[in-house]
Chain A
Amino acid sequence: MSATKTIHGIYTDEELCLEGVKKIRANKVRIKDVFSPFPIHGLDPALGLPRTRIAICAFIYGITGTSLAILMTWFMMVHDWPQDIGGKPSMYYFMNWPAFIPVIFELTVFCAGHGMAITFFLRSWILPGVSPKNPDPRTTDDRFLILIEAKSEDEAKIVSMLRETGADEVNVK
């Protein structure tokens, strides 16, 4: 019978965990996920994850914010209710555009920042009421966890591999 086993390798140090990831992957064992209380530098390339596309999203959200702000300042200050402020009449947009730069800048940052955060929450499904997918609550504190799903016949091999790379604790479910 070849049932699937879930193996947790728990480390106390992020460098050990990172080295463990590299060694395990070098042995052609597939790592399902790694849980850590903070981002570990160099973990993404070690796991072989593709480059994040959030930067592209940020750019699109930012451009959206810029366009929205230009449209808003034009509508409010030029089209709908032009006012003469400081001797600068708002009959045409170009007469007053430097005054709108702060608004344009802020809305660009606002849209890029919020867009990125919301995209991240949706993509990782971190929402109010969603139960945590975290396999061990200690990974929100001071433990680093490598999650491997393997066939039961590989179990012994993987457990010893995790032990060799310095795992403090190995749990099999």
Chain B
Amino acid sequence: MSHVNTNNLTYHFSSKTQKNLLIICGIGVLMLILGMILWHAPEAAHGEHGGAEHHDHTASLGQRVWANVLVNGYFFGGLALAAVFFYAMQYAAQASWSTVFMRVFSAVGDFLWIGMALIAVVIILGDFHVHHLYHWQDADAYTNDPIMQHKAPYFNRIFYYGRTLVFILGWVWYQNWTRKNQSAEDQMSSFESRSANWMKNLKNAAIFLVFFGFTSSVFTWDVIMSIDTHWFSTLFGWYNFAGWWISAMIAFNLLAIHLKSRGQLEFVNPSHMHDLGKWMFAISFLWTYLWFSQFMLIWYSNVPEEVVYYMQRWEQYRGLFWITMLVNFVFPMLVLMSRDSKRNKSYVFFVGLLTLFFHWTDTFLLVMPGTVGNNWGIGFIEIGMFVAFLSFFVFWTLRALSKQPILAQNHALLPEGIHHHQ
């Protein structure tokens, strides 16, 4: 490519940056440990019921820590999964504008197996009763409970672990295949081999999208919706998916802006950045649309077994619940509506950072009410673990980015994509 400066195609992940990120991660872990030391049982957990046969699981330290592991594993793992979904979609749609970002997308997706492994660990430990995040894992959950008895086949452990394993392995396999294929693609010189490789990517992406479409929804029921075991929502999978997707779009924007500020990605022009900003703007609406659709139908029909879900959030999490919704809706809408602001890197960066945090609180609101209930808080434990996860996620993403050239030089659609303009 004559117009690409081939000397500037590697991302140098300096040892100083690595050290700084790991130090921030360490500070997060220290905060977490400090939070665990400072933790004391909530008032209500003591006495009162004195010798009550039913122990209140929601008030224990272990419950709160494991719930946080699930929040972060699900948030960052889902973000990475949506990144994989997004580049698969770019291949399947034969989109050319996004070819300049292909390596950014696949680097963000590289955290996938870590997030999924953490989720798997949380679920497996639950079956050994290390924590009580999932009511369906309690042995006595099925006695005298017709709803649970009805759901028992679905929670049959062989079926549950079997499908979850298939989902995770399928996604991680596709991500790893793409990364390997990208390395192989960089060695391809002939036009024929590059075209054939592009066709292979197109085919695999299409198969992955079908697989992802069915499995991602079921995965959200299994991992998150099953916390509130008696409750269900048919929109839940879509709503969670929208949350992952907007988080991934934010991550792409932030990473692309970071690389631009280092003087890299010089083949990315303002139209490319504008389109990436448009995606972030649009998917924030998708998220709000699904948030509101789920909320309004349940609020309006007012069916007791459905509204309990929102009643609890209304009574115990009211402030966080509304702030999360409003920030994630209003900020992208007002700030990023005009063309000029989507082309303004500091606007996009600011809105991105803010809404990324409030999509984390959205995940927090998915997990916490059903696991720790009224004994929730955002203290050293939560902030510490979030900081540790975030810095490690950034570390892992930049590490993945540094392993390959940051431009898919042999992508069949690159010559068209690089000349993208509006």
Contacts and interface: CB of A to CB of B under 8 A. Distances in A.
Interface of A: 41-42, 55, 59, 86-88, 98-99, 101-102
B299 A42 contact: no
Given A55-B339, A99-B296, A101-B292, A41 B422 contact: yes
A42 B419 CA distance: 10
A165 to B, nearest CB: 18
A101 B337 CA distance: 20
B301 A86 contact: yes
A13 B299 CA distance: 56
**B contact patch SS:** helix
B403 interface: no
Contacts of B299: 98
B236 interface: no
B300 interface: yes
B295 interface: yes
B272 to A, nearest CB: 13
A102 to B, nearest CB: 8
B118 to A, nearest CB: 36
Contacts of B302: 86-88
A101 B422 contact: no
Interface of B: 292, 295-296, 299-302, 337-339, 421-422
Contact of A42 (B301, B339, B421): B421
B359 to A, nearest CB: 21
Contacts of B339: 55
B291 to A, nearest CB: 11
Contacts, number: 23
Contact of B300 (A42, A55, A86): A86
A101 B421 contact: no
Contacts of B338: 55
The 9 A-B pairs at the shortest CB distance, nearest first, are namely A42-B421, A98-B296, A86-B302, A41-B421, A99-B300, A98-B299, A87-B302, A86-B300, A41-B422
B422 A98 contact: no
Contacts of B295: 98
B300 A98 contact: yes
B416 to A, nearest CB: 11
Nearest to A46: B421
Nearest to B339: A55
A78 to B, nearest CB: 16
A29 B339 CA distance: 31
Nearest to B303: A86
A42 B296 contact: no
Nearest to A98: B296
Contacts of A102: 296
A41 B274 CA distance: 15
A136 to B, nearest CB: 27
Contacts of A87: 302
B300 A101 contact: no
B288 to A, nearest CB: 11
22 contacts: A41-B421, A41-B422, A42-B421, A42-B422, A55-B338, A55-B339, A59-B337, A86-B300, A86-B301, A86-B302, A87-B302, A88-B300, A88-B302, A98-B292, A98-B295, A98-B296, A98-B299, A98-B300, A99-B296, A99-B300, A101-B296, A102-B296
Nearest to B337: A59
Contacts of A101: 292, 296
A102 B292 CA distance: 10
A90 B339 CA distance: 40
Nearest to A86: B302
A14 to B, nearest CB: 13
Contacts of B296: 98-99, 101-102
A99 B295 CA distance: 10
